[in-house]
Structure 1
Amino acid sequence: MSRILIVEDEPRLSQLVADYLQHARYDTEQTDSAQTAMALARDGGFDAILLDLMLPDGDGMDVCKSIRQHSQVPILMITARVDEVDRLLGLELGADDYICKPFSPREVVARVKAVLRRANPQPAEEAQPALVLDDDRFEARIAGQSIALTAIEFALLNTLARHPGRIWSRDQLMDEIYNDHRVVSDRTIDSHIRKLRRKLSDGSPDAHDWIGSVYGVGYRLETP
């Protein structure tokens, strides 16, 4: 559970914000003191700080500056100061957001969520292979779509896929896919390649061309 430090000298407002944050499943701690806020921030353990600028024992700008000397915890300044110079100064001192009074507690919760998302981006899901080969079914899957292949087409694609980008000559491909060492011509490999390309593209002109030709040399698997 994320912990939020609320630094606010108006008790009713501080408790209102705390209630809304707790309802949104955040743990909160409250103080109305600049000195206590700096001490708590030094001890760490907070995921974000809501910081009022006008405190009875100090200025929130100084609190922000002090915290930034040792921590990059997200700071959201809350204040009745609406002058642009104050907002710019707060941001220059390292504040991550600036909320002007009066405000909606729901807006504060939304701003906290947004700042936490930016500070702790979720890792992207591991990309799944664009091309998956199923040995048991002699089929390929591209983006989850199954493509049925003949045994020869599957063996040909499987050979190319073992080393994406490697150029295979026609003779090498024939040796790989014809285990009985039958005599076939170069034209046979070319014919299989054409059929395989057609199946992999599914007739779409915008589809990725999975099999590339190197003139006078052979073929290779082209990864996206």
Structure 2
Amino acid sequence: MLELVGEDIILCREEYAVNSIMIVEDDETLREEVSVLLKKTGYLVKKVEDFSNVYEQMIMGDVDLILLDITLPGESGQILLQKFRKKSDIPVIVLTSRTEDVDELVSMSYGADDFITKPYNPAILLLRISAVLKRSASASQSQNYRGIIVSSIKGSLLKEDKEQVLTKNEMLIFQHLLDHQGEIVSREDLMTVLWDNDEYVNDNALSVNISRLRNKLSDFGLENAIETRKKQGYVLR
């Protein structure tokens, strides 16, 4: 729960206890203000203060969330975000003074989990951070399948610098097969998984989705990853 008492913000520490957050902000005053706010709330904080190797610090940061400014010395926050998303699914909230719609659109298309403009309301910032962390915790950020990073958040398969984006149905099918890897999964089971989707899926559409998923796995050199068992279903090997 959140209460505002004068300038202080008091939150239940049990809810936010051990999450760590990296602040990538070149404005020292603002960086310190955000750092104090997060520490008072119970977060662990890492601050980027050397902007000659920001990307490396983001990759090696070992944090649960990153607050990323767009306007930085050297590479812009958006370019850093684009590069970072090729390697990591750690949530990123863009925190910037830019207010143009295009900045938000570009940031979200590059993989930002939220976009907050300055000046910000501290309470709103904390609530948005909490929401992103909860979404991240509720969904498995990534799994490893034969050297491929499977991101349910992004709906993609990633290996080194190569990425395959899956449709919603392809992701649902693959996730179910992955959850039951080595087991026979019937077509009926997969149809049930897809039942609540917005798009109507018939038996033929399921076959099309399986075929497309096979092709995308083949692009990673896994030509026979999904095996058909006649009159039984499919097995993810």
> Equivalent residue for 1:70?
87
Give the paired residue count. Answer: 123
Instruction: Give me the TM-score of the superposition, normalised by structure 2.
Output: 0.49
Unaligned runs of 5+ in 1: 124-224
Q: Is the Cα contact below 8 Å between 1:34 and 1:59 reproduced in 2?
A: no
Per-residue deviation, residues 60-81 of structure 1 (Å, max 9, x unmatched) = 0011011101000000001111
Q: Which stretches of structure 1, 4 residues or longer, exceed 3 Å deviation after superposition?
A: 32-36
Distance 1:23 1:52 in 2: 21
**Equivalent position SS for 1:72:** coil
**Equivalent position SS for 2:45:** strand
> Equivalent residue for 1:23?
40
Give the partner amino acid of 1:10.
Answer: D
Q: Which residue of 124, 137, 142 corresponds with 1:120?
A: 137
> Cα 1:65–1:35, aligned 2, differ >3 Å: closer, same or farther?
farther
Instruction: Give me the TM-score of the superposition, normalised by structure 1.
Output: 0.52
Q: Which residue of 7, 13, 17 corresponds with 2:30?
A: 13
In our comparison, the structure showing a higher alpha carbon Rg is 1
Distance 1:20 1:105 in 2: 8
1:107 matches 2:124:
yes
> 1:92 offset after TM fit, Å?
0.2
> Cα 1:35–1:110, aligned 2, differ >3 Å: closer, same or farther?
farther
Matches within 5 A, 1:1-224: 1-121=18-138
> Cα 1:13–1:110, aligned 2, differ >3 Å: closer, same or farther?
same
Distance 1:98 1:36 in 2: 23
Per-residue deviation, residues 131-166 of structure 1 (Å, max 9, x unmatched) = xxxxxxxxxxxxxxxxxxxxxxxxxxxxxxxxxxxx
Once the two structures are aligned, what percentage of the paired residues are identical?
32
> 1:107 offset after TM fit, Å?
2.0
> Equivalent residue for 1:206?
none
> Cα 1:29–1:80, aligned 2, differ >3 Å: closer, same or farther?
same
